[in-house]
Structure 1
C-alpha cells in the first residue's frame, strides 16, 4: 500500500494543471474575440460616419 500512496498525487496533479491551462486559454481566447468584435464595431461605426 505504501508505493500506491505516493503514486496517486502525481497522477492527480497533471490532471488539474492541464484543465487550469485549458480554462485560462479559453478565457484568453474569449477576451481576444471580444476585442476583435469591439474593433469591428468601431470600424463599422467609423465607416458609417465617413459615409454620412
Structure 2
C-alpha cells in the first residue's frame, strides 16, 4: 500500500520536507555544482509527491 496515495496529507507533508531539504542543500558547505544537483534532486522528489497527493 502506498501511503502517499492513500493519504494525500501525508504526501503534502513529505513534499514540504523535501522542499526544506532542497533549501538546506543550497546552504550547504559544498561546491555550487553539488548544491545545485542536490537541490534539483530534492525538488524533483517534492514535485512528484505533490503530484501524487493531488491525483487522489
More helix by share: 1
Larger radius of gyration: 1
Larger RCO (alpha carbons 8 Å, 6+ apart): 2
